[in-house]
Amino acid sequence: MSYRVAVLAGDGIGQEVVAAARCVLDAVAERGGFGFEWREFDWGCDRFLRTGAMMPHDGLDQLAEHDAIFLGAVGNPGVADHVSLWGLLIPIRRRFRQHVNYRPIRLFPGIEGPLRDATADIDFVVVRENNEGEYSEIGGRIYHGLDEEIAIQESVFTRRGVRAVMEYAFGLAASRKGQLVSATKSNGIVHTMPFWDEIFAELAEAHGEVTTSQYHIDALAAYFVQRPETLDVVVASNLFGDILSDLGAAVAGSIGIAPSANLDPSRRNPSMFEPVHGSAPDIAGEGIANPIGQIWSGALMLEHLGQRDAADAVMGAVARVFAEGGPRTPDLGGTATTEEVTTAILARLP
């Protein structure tokens, strides 16, 4: 069996960590009796600077024929962030109905997190609505540069979109510890957040096997720091989920190890797997980028493709590197290179 995977290594350290992750994925695939057909695309900010576009006009059609999309990092100091985001990532997420952003947060034994109780059992998932909410194109600006200049940005919440991400979160919680927290701010945001709360309450009645609670986003952010070990699954809107999941990654030791999956749960379209970190142009080319966020994203891809044993093997190897005091890149307080960390993980594959 072979899986067709589109590779968008992107910019900066994306090139380095994708190469490292592919080594691990190819190794575990060979042992598992399957393989990958990698197809590389040179899309990203470097392409934008050359051609004026992040990807070709038929780029989405080219991606559609793949089983998955493996993304490195996108970003360049010479390209505005909203150009790179809206020119590549958001069109992919929306075209392929990737309405779930899955962000696992885990403090591995052997990693010292920044919290006072570094031994807390932190293992939870943020499920972020990925295609609508606060990240919409509706709005505009008038009176540019004048004192009366106005900028308007509209949030868009649909019943279909909110139900879809919440249904996924309820199902995930039922398969874990059975606890689901909803992030809201209905005391201040008077239309969209009460709508979010109402749908959450409706679904909670239909999922009696899951214990539910909801917190305002400001209080929940504090809980991420004060008691992250109490969390199981958190469901949040696009903006709130984006912020909370990055906070969770920091609590778990480093954004350099944090993965994500942009999922179409129906599996009718390819899902996309990417680390949370950016392109880090300040260290690009130095060979010291942490490959674990990309490798863990690869493990999520394996799981999504039905190769659960291979995914467990990859994450078991990562966990052993940490637990045994193996090499660490500078973001984790070490001096190791990308290659040294990758080699250590390869050596611990079963």
Instruction: Report which of 285, 172, 192, 287 is spatially closest to residue 233, judged by C-alpha positions.
Output: 172
Contact 295, 20 (CB under 8 A): yes
Q: State the catalytic residues.
A: 143, 185, 218, 242, 246
Rounded CA Rg of the chain: 20
| Angle, in degrees to the nearest 10, between helices 308-323 and 292-304 | 160
- What is the residue type of 134? E
Instruction: Report which of 320, 187, 168, 342 is spatially closest to residue 241, judged by C-alpha positions.
Output: 168
Match 């539910």 to its residue by tokens.
212
Instruction: Report which of 186, 183, 188, 195 is spatially closest to residue 156, judged by C-alpha positions.
Output: 195
Contact 256, 292 (CB under 8 A): yes
| Angle, in degrees to the nearest 10, between helices 308-323 and 14-32 | 120
Locate 292 and state its tokens.
Answer: 């674990």
Q: What is the DSSP secondary structure assignment for residue 76, as one 8-state letter?
A: B
Instruction: Report which of 97, 91, 101 is spatially closest to residue 240, judged by C-alpha positions.
Output: 101
In sequence order, the β-bridge partners of residue 7 are 40, 70
- What is the residue type of 10? G
